[in-house]
Structure formats: C-alpha cells, structure tokens
Structure 1
Amino acid sequence: MNYTEASMAALRRAGDELADATVATLFERGEVGKFNALMRYVSTAGAPLPEGLPDVARAYLEATSVPPAWVDWEEMERARLFFIDNNVHISTALSFASMPACYLVPHVAKLLSAAHGLKYPSKRMAETGQFTLYLMRPDAFEAGSRFVPAVQKVRLLHASIRHHLREENRWDVEALGTPICQEDMIGGQMFFSLLVLDSLHRLGIHMSTEGAEAYYYAWRVVGAMLGVDQEAVPATLEEARRFLDLYMVRHMGPSEEGAHLTRQLIDLYEEVVPGTLFDPLVSALIRHLIGDTCATWLHVPRTPWDTVVKAVPHLLNVLETIEDRSPLGAWALDRLGHLTATLELSSLTRGRVMHYAIPDTLKKDYGISSAAPRIRPWTPPPATVS
C-alpha cells in the first residue's frame, strides 16, 4: 500500500460510524447513565445482556460480539506463544516506548489530557496491561472471556470522546481533523505492535520473523474490533514501517501536554519500583527506547543510568541465549517473566478488574516455551522517511 500526504489527510476526516452513531443516540435519549450502570454487569463474552439495556446499545453489542470472519486462528496462537515467551519485555516496551510515543504526537497528548482518567496514570497503564493480557489468553474469543467486552467498551469510550469534543466545540476539526480519527487509530495500532517489536529488538530480545509477524497480526485483529478501517491498515511489517515513519514525521513534536503526561508516567513507575535506588532506571529506559531527541521533547531527565542501561541488551542477550539452548532455562525464564509481569500489573490494578464507561463530561481544562521456531531472526524494517 502506498501512503501519501493526501491519503493520510483523508484518514484524518474519518471516525467510526457504528460506535459514533451508538454514542450519539445514547446521549440524545439521555440513556448514558443507564447504559453505564448496566454495562458493569457485562464483563464476560457470551453472557446474557441485562434487561433494560437501551436498544441501540444492545444492537451495537450484538453486532460487535464476534471477531472478524477473516481471523487466522493458527496465527493468533503463534501470537499468544510469542507473548508468553516475551511478556515481561512486551510490558516494558508498552510502558516505556508505546505510551511515550503517544505523548510525542501533540494533538494526541492534548486529547489524552482531556480524559478524566489521565489524572490517574496508573488507571490507563492498568487498563492497557489488562487489555493486552486478556487478548493473549487462549480463550480470548471464547464464551466467558473478558477480552471481547473490553474491546466493545473501549470502542465506545473513543466514540464518546469524539462526541464531547465535537459537540462542545473544543476541537478544531478543520485544523486537526476528527478527534481519534482513523489516522490516529492506525498510528496507535502501530505504537502497540511495530514499536513494541522495535523496542524488543533494541533490548536485545531474540525473535523469529514468524513470531514478530504473528504479534503484529494479533494487533490487526484488535484494530478491526476497535473500528479501525482494515482497508487502510498496513498488512505487513514493511508497510507498517512506511506508515509509521510518515505518521511520525507528519505529527511528532514537543508539547506541554506530552511532557506533563510523561512526568506522570515516570512518577508512577518510580513509585512501583521498590526503594529509590533504581528510580532513575525508569527515565533511562524511556530515553534508551525512544531516543535522545524524543526524550528531550518529553522532558525526560538525564541520569547516570543513561549509560548503565546500554548494558541491558547485552545482559538480555545472554539470558536469551540460555533460553534458546536450554529447555529448562527457557521454562525458568518464562516463569520468571510471567511472575514479574503479573506483579507489575497487580501493583497497577491493585487486584481490581478495570472497567470502562462512557464519560458524561470531559475535563473542563485540558492541555497541559518458544513462541515460534527461531528459524529467521527478526530485524526491523528499514526506515523509509529521512
């Protein structure tokens, strides 16, 4: 697929027709409160929908209750195994590369700061971690799983933010396009897939091409369920590189909102890390994964750990070699990774199941085993935009 300035500009005008129409009707009929109250009881796939649910919401939930017909389930299983093999590294990449990358896009950072939940960064990180964990469970799309309801609610959450910003004339559509537009949703999909793979490569993690492609494919499935137009989504990692390079060159830059959100993220993880000795590691990891220029735009502080963290890929390379050569070592490291990722998530969620709801209002002021046969080692597609 050939991405151009014109094709990207067209994506800025498009939202999500189904979710947008559903949310607009709920607000028009004054049924948002009833919907939110009843949706707390909709947490597992296949469960009967509660009595009294607004008709428009019921129609939406029924229409979005199954994954796309084109899903390749063998590829999804490869993605799940890839996640099991790399879950702690993926969690690191999501926290210290994907989230800061969102803040590097000024209009996205401005939009994120409009949501009440961003006052509490642990909530957003907990939601992201729990969402990914639900996705990578073997029963993610089966009756009783929590993934499908989570996707349905996140999609409506996005639509509600679009609704508020447009209805309250708090978003310059002519200059910025539709809030949470197709271009930004595809960009977000790239942040949570290709950028994660880039970060794993930068950390020295051993990956097969097959595993990397499967992980990217899983996020294509997620994107489709979140209302992202798959006709416009890069089908391969090479196409994804072309899209992401152009997207970032079009939009990335410094902003007060981006710096503020990054500071919240750093403070959050410095609280999660026991003691204070390793606190500077948080900033050092962010700088290592997103680069000096981007880290400076986000006001990520420099620390003595900036040099130390460069040894991390060498250490992880040793551990990955042990994992490759020893089944027992692979099992032990996978278990350690699982326990570490679980501990990190539990510290963010505090044992709670994260719920999503349509906000009545926005903030008044905003601005500020083996995953796959390791046959072909994966290397990032080359940059396409200088």
Structure 2
Amino acid sequence: MTATPAAMDALRLKGDELADATVDALFAHGDVGRFNTLMRWFAKVGQPLPDDVPDEARDYLRATAAPPDWVDWDLMEKARLFFIDNNVHISTALSFASMPACYLVPHVARLLSATHSLDYPSRRMAETGQFTLYLMQPDAFEAGSRFLPAAQKVRLLHASIRHHLGREGRWDETALGVPICQEDMIGGQMMFSIQVLDALHRLGIRISNEGAEAYFYAWRVVGAMLGVDQAAAPADLDQARDFSDLYMARYMAPSAEGAALTRQLIDLYEQVVPGTLLDPVVPALVRFLIGDTAADWLQVPRSGWDTAVGFAPALLGVVERVHHSSPVGAWALERLGSLTTRLELSSLTRGRVMQYSIPEHLKGDYGLTSSKPHTDPWTPPPLSPRLPA
C-alpha cells in the first residue's frame, strides 16, 4: 500500500477481526477469568492446550499457532545475529527513542496512559523488552519457546482494550478511530523497526544494509503475528520511511499525557542507573535521540550532559572498532551486551514473567478512573518527498 492520508484514514477504522471476535465471544460467555487462569500455564510452544480452554479461544490459538507461511527463515536468522551484535544499542534505541516517539502521538499517549498500571509504570517497557528478547532467541519458533504464546496473548490483550474502550464509551471513535487500529499498529511497528535503525544511525553505530533489512523484516513478521494487515503494511525500508514520516507528520504534537509518560520513563531509568551522578544522562540521551523540538514537547528537562551526550557517536565508534577488529574484544562486548540487556530487563520485570492476560476491567489494573566489519554501511532512507518542507 502506498502511504497516503486517505489510505491511512481507512486504516483508522479497522481493528483485528480474528482477535476482536475471540475476545467478544469470551466476554459474552463469561469465560475471560477462566481463560486467563488457564493461559498462565500455557507459556511455551509444544505444550498441550488445557482441556478447559473455551472453544472460541481454542480455535483462535490453533489458528495463530504458527508464523506466516511466507517467512524467510534465513532472513530471520540474520535478524537474530544482528540483534546479538547490537543488543545493547537496540535496547538503548527502544528505551530512549522508540518509547518517547510513541508518546509524541497524543491519542497513543492517551491510550497508553489509560492502560498503564498505576502501581507498575514500567510494565509497558517490561513487556516490550521481554517480548523482544523472546523474539531474538535461536529457538523463538521451536518447541519450548515463549515467543509464539506471548504473541498470541499480546494480540488478545490489544483486542480486549478495544473491547473495553469501545463499549464503555471511553474512546471517541469518530474523532480518533478504533483503539489500537491498523494505522496505529503499523505506526508502532515502524517505531520498533525503522525508528530504532534511525536511532542506531544517530548513535554512530555502523550497520550493514543486510543487517538493517533483516531487522526490519523480523518486525514485519512480528506485525503479521500481531494482526497487522500485510496488504497495508510497508514491505521494505523505503516504504517504511514513507509510512513512518507521514504517520508522525499527521499526529506529532505536545500533550499532557505524553509529558507525564515521558517523566515516568525518565524516572524509571534514573532508578536503573546506579547512584545519582549519572541521572542527568537519561534525559540528555532522550533529547539527543529525538531532537530538541520533540523533547521540548515531551518536557524532557535539559541538563549539563546535553552537550556531552553529543560525543556518544565518537565514543561508540571506538567501541565498534574494537568489536570489529578483535575476536576476543567482539566476544567480550557481546557477552557484556547480553548481560547488560538481561539485567536491565530483570529490573523492569522485577524478576518475573509478564503474563499478558486479558483485563476483565480496565479500572484498577489499567488505571482508568471512569558481527564483521561492514563494507556496505546502512544509511536511513531520505525523508518522504510527499511531506511538506
């Protein structure tokens, strides 16, 4: 699909037919609580479904039990190796660029505010980090993997939010479209794919065209598994640039919810950073990666580190040279990166597995009160020529 305002308007009216029908049936039959209890024990590929799974849920789980038949497994393996090679940098991009980018879209920020747990503000980051880590395991699609069941549950979670917000009159569908509509699902896919690659580029991380394309492809597969209409989704990085640019141009704006979520994110990562001396690095890195205008809209505080963080690409360039010139250095950095990513995720998840259950009510739980040298370095596709200067 060519990204145009008219085409994207049509996507605002569409949710996820299969998941929506499943959730509606579960609520109609009073089966949500029983399904959630059973799903706590269904967490890995290869486990037999419990006998008491409601029929509508069993049909959904069987229909979504495998990745799309068009998946190129060689490309998926290249994506996994790309992630291993750049795991800390990708985690940094997700945390300090992609998540703030979500908050720059006011209606998305409003939805995220409505569905954040008030006593667990890091839940969204914990779920995203765990999901990404599951995806990039070598056995992600094999028996014993946690990725496929997680994808099935996330898809139902999105459908349940549509169910609640739509039926309880807490979402203006005329003005905002369907909650978690196709346009926003594709927009989110862009934030976790091409916008991550953009952030790596700004950090000075040299990545190959092959690696960038493989990483984007992996998120395209994920999008399909989460209910994204592949006829509407970008098929390559150039189309992704067009869609991402137009999506952000349509919606980017300041909002109270976006600023509040950003403050939560900064507070969270200041807690993760040891001590207090380096706390100002967190907002400085967010500002560096998303730019001053967006940072000001999100009320990211300025600090004395704003200038110093600008030297990050030069420092990371030295690290990258060590990585690519020394096998021992590469091994050590990859091990350190893996350990750092897992420690960060452990702190976000509080050492537990995120369950992605279907909320029976939004109120309460959801806070509503009513490696080798690259000879072909990747550079981001240019801005869409259809955007105004």
State the TM-score, normalized to the length of structure 1.
Answer: 0.97
- Partner of residue 130, structure 1: 130
Q: What pairs with 1:11-160 in structure 2 (closer than 5 Å)? A: 11-117=11-117, 119-160=119-160
Quote the offset at 1:313 in angstroms. 0.6
String of CA shifts for 1:101-129, please: whole Å, max 9, x gaps: 11100000111111143652222211111
| Distance in structure 1 (CA, Å) of the matches to 2:163 and 2:332 | 48
Q: CA deviation at 1:278?
A: 0.5
- Give the C-alpha shift of residue 91 in structure 1: 0.5
Partners of 1:89 and 1:119 lie apart in 2 by: 29
Q: Distance in 1 between matches of 2:350 and 2:33?
A: 26
Quote the residue 1:382 is aligned against: 382
* 1:168-225 CA-partner distances (Å, limit 9, x unpaired): 0111111111110000000000000001000011001110000000000000000000
Deviation for aligned residue 1:334? 1.1
Residue 162 of structure 1 corresponds to: 162
Counterpart position of 1:214: 214
The one-letter amino acid paired with 1:200 is L
Equivalent positions of 1:229-378 (< 5 A) are: 229-363=229-363, 366=368, 369-370=371-372, 374-378=374-378
For residue 366 of structure 1, report the CA deviation from its aligned partner.
4.9
Is the contact between residue 76 and residue 218 of structure 1 (CA under 8 Å) also seen in structure 2? yes
- Distance in 2 separating the partners of 1:172 and 1:350: 35
- Distance of 1:78 and 1:13 partners within structure 2: 35
- In the alignment, structure 1 residue 178 sits paired with structure 2 residue 206: no
Deviations 1:216-239 (A, max 9, x none): 000000000000001111111111
- Identical positions, percent: 71
Following TM superposition, by how much is the alpha carbon of 1:252 offset from its aligned partner in structure 2, in angstroms?
Answer: 1.1
Q: 1:116, 1:97 → 2: CA distance?
A: 19
State whether residues 44 and 144 of structure 2, in contact with CA within 8 Å, keep that contact through their aligned partners in structure 1: yes
Q: State the AA in 2 paired with 1:67.
A: P
CA distance in 2 between counterparts of 1:162 and 1:238 reads 31
Separation (CA, whole Å) in 2 of partners of 1:162 and 1:349:
25
- Residue type at the aligned position of 1:102: C
Q: Is the 8 A contact 1:114 1:363 kept in 2?
A: no
User: CA deviation digits over 1:329-356, x for unaligned, max 9?
Assistant: 2111111111111111111122211111
- TM-score, normalized by length of structure 2? 0.96
Equivalent residues of 2:19, 2:155 under 8 A apart: yes
Q: Is the 8 A contact 1:112 1:118 kept in 2?
A: no
Aligned to 2:34, what secondary structure does the other structure show?
A: helix
How far apart, in 1, do the equivalents of 2:134 and 2:118 lie? 22
How far off is 1:363 after superposition?
3.3
Most deviating of 327-336 and 159-168: 327-336
The residue type paired with residue 158 of structure 2 is H
Cα distance between partner residues in 2 of 1:3 and 1:356: 31
SS of alignment partner, residue 138 of structure 2 = coil
Q: Indicate the larger mover: 288-297 or 341-350.
A: 341-350
Distance 2:60 2:272 in 1: 38
Q: Is 1:4 equivalent to 2:4 in the alignment?
A: yes
Q: Using the alignment, how far apart are the partners of 1:363 and 1:92 within structure 2?
A: 32
Q: Does 1:199 find its partner at 2:199?
A: yes
CA distance in 1, matches of 2:376, 2:172: 47
Deviation above 6 Å: which 4+ runs of structure 1? none
Return the offset for 1:375. 3.0
1-structure distance, mates of 2:326, 2:204: 18
Q: Is the 8 A contact 1:116 1:362 kept in 2?
A: no
SS of the equivalent of 1:113 reads: helix
The answer as to whether partners of 2:116 and 2:123 remain within 8 angstroms in 1 is no
For each residue in 1:48-106, what CA deviation from the matched residue of structure 2 results, as whole angstroms up to 9, or x when unmatched? 00111111001100100000000000000000000000000100111111111111000
Q: Distance in 2 between matches of 1:343 and 1:359?
A: 28
Q: Is the CA contact (8 Å cut-off) linking 2:116 and 2:124 kept in structure 1?
A: no
After superposition, the C-alpha distances for 1:8-62 in whole angstroms (9 at most, x for unaligned) are: 1001011000000000000011111101111100100110001111110011001
Matches of 1:191 and 1:154, distance apart in 2: 17
Change in Cα spacing, 1:206 to 1:118, as seen in structure 2 (3 Å) is: farther
